[in-house]
Amino acid sequence: MIVLGIESTCDETAASIVKNGCEVLSNVVASSADLHAKYGGVFPEHSSRRHIESIVPVVREALKIAAVTPDQIDLIAVAKGPGLVGPLLVGMQFAKGLSIAWNKPLVGINHVEAHLYAAMMDAPLLFPAIGLVLSGGHTLLVKINDVGSYERIGTTVDDAIGEAFDKVAVLLGLPYPGGPHVEALALQGAPTFPLKPGKIKNRPLDFSFSGLKTSVLYAVKGQNGKTPKELNPQEKAQLAASFQETAFQDILQKTKLALQQYPSRALYLGGGVCNNKRLKTLFGEAFPDLPIFFPAPALTLDNGAMIAGLAHHKSTASESLDLEVKTRIPLGDLV
């Protein structure tokens, strides 16, 4: 089965052709991060306009690279949410238009489920498993019973982990998106600042990153009106390393707990924060005997391949053209 996947939930306009759920024939991504870097974050209206400009060339390029013609496509898959409404609508309306014009079935895909599927695309499917989504908009621990069958066991009560990285980057004077810059700076310092991870009473598998972010704010800008001495570059590196280490140790401890509570055959991770090498090392060292699967580097950030790949596992009966985008999808309803 050949699927065209379209992704436009946030700041990437992406399209991909995937065969049989795992063979990526093309994976084209146009990011508007350059535009958002000017403002230190995503402005939905700017992002929507970029999607409108990019979607036709991106889909054309995906078909061209895959050497696939529209008549060879069996299914059109589009990210239906969660995400920003303007960006989502661009992808959805375009996918509906193609579905009518090419007379192909259409399926809506949950973007968060697709991030998790990215790690399963070229990996053995070993269930039950634990899934961990670490992205700009989501932080989620799930028990995976099968592709399409999940139980949410932990989430964040405030910031997502990628969002925390991006906000800490702003505090440290680093560009958007901040994650890779915080990682690079952290390599130059030791984690010597005493920072505490967020804990939620009676909910040991849930996350909170806003307190940690505020501790970084205080370290940079002072607390209770007191202005600290300006941090020198070495201290900034130590602060970046301390933030990263505290956040990752917290995620690691909660994942360990999840694995104790829900015996699992594997761990699958997804989302942009999976690009972080320290995260990979920590998890690799912590679970030497457990199969751990990260997405291929091209599939960690937002992309159309994870959308097209996951669609292979969904019904090919076309969804109605009434299919709506959803800015939020209850996290328990991952599908």
| Site of interaction with ligand KG4 (CB under 6 A) | 10, 115, 135-138, 162-163, 165-166, 177-180, 183, 271-273, 275-276, 301-302
Helix (H) or strand (E) holding 103: none
Give residue number: closest CB to Zn ion. 302
Contacts of 242 (CB under 8 A, 6+ apart): 191, 192, 193, 194, 195
The binder of 178, among Zn ion, ligand KG4, none, by C-beta within 5 to 8 A per type, is ligand KG4
The binder of 165, among Zn ion, ligand KG4, none, by C-beta within 5 to 8 A per type, is ligand KG4
Question: Inter-axis angle of helices 233-261 and 277-286, to 10 degrees?
Answer: 40
- Using an 8 Å Cβ cutoff, are 319 and 106 in contact? yes
Q: Nearer to Zn ion by C-beta: 163 or 302?
A: 302
Q: Nearer to ligand KG4 by C-beta: 79 or 98?
A: 79
CB neighbour class for 328 (10 Å; exposed up to 12, middle 13-18, buried from 19): exposed
The Cα 242–Cα 253 span in angstroms is 16
Is residue 32 within the footprint of Zn ion (CB under 5 A)?
Answer: no
27, 47, 135, 275: which one binds Zn ion (CB under 5 A): 135
The binder of 189, among Zn ion, ligand KG4, none, by C-beta within 5 to 8 A per type, is none
Which part of the chain contacts Zn ion (CB under 5 A), choosing from 128-136, 191-199, 206-214, 225-233? 128-136
From the CB of 7, what's the least distance to Zn ion, in Å? Answer: 8
Helix (H) or strand (E) holding 160: none
The Cα 109–Cα 302 span in angstroms is 13
The binder of 301, among Zn ion, ligand KG4, none, by C-beta within 5 to 8 A per type, is ligand KG4
Q: Nearer to Zn ion by C-beta: 25 or 140?
A: 140
C-alpha to C-alpha distances, 200 to 78, 143, 154, 205, 237, nearest whole angstrom? 35, 20, 11, 8, 28
| Residue spans of beta strands (DSSP E) within the chain | 2-7, 12-19, 23-31, 75-81, 106-110, 129-134, 139-146, 149-155, 266-270, 292-293
In 103-229, alpha helices (H): 111-118, 161-171, 179-186, 210-221
Q: How many CB atoms lie within 10 A of CB 282?
A: 16
Is residue 8 within the footprint of Zn ion (CB under 5 A)?
Answer: no
From the CB of 101, what's the least distance to Zn ion, in Å? Answer: 28
Q: Nearer to Zn ion by C-beta: 32 or 246?
A: 32
Contacts of 60 (CB under 8 A, 6+ apart): none
Q: Nearer to ligand KG4 by C-beta: 99 or 276?
A: 276
Q: Nearer to ligand KG4 by C-beta: 115 or 314?
A: 115
Q: Which two tokens stand for residue 9?
A: 């939930």
From the CB of 165, what's the least distance to ligand KG4, in Å? Answer: 4
* 55-94 positions binding Zn ion, by CB under 5 A: none
The Cα 184–Cα 182 span in angstroms is 5
Q: Nearer to Zn ion by C-beta: 191 or 309?
A: 309
Q: Nearer to ligand KG4 by C-beta: 92 or 301?
A: 301
Is residue 302 within the footprint of Zn ion (CB under 5 A)?
Answer: yes
From the CB of 175, what's the least distance to ligand KG4, in Å? Answer: 10
Positions touching Zn ion (CB under 5 A) are 135, 302
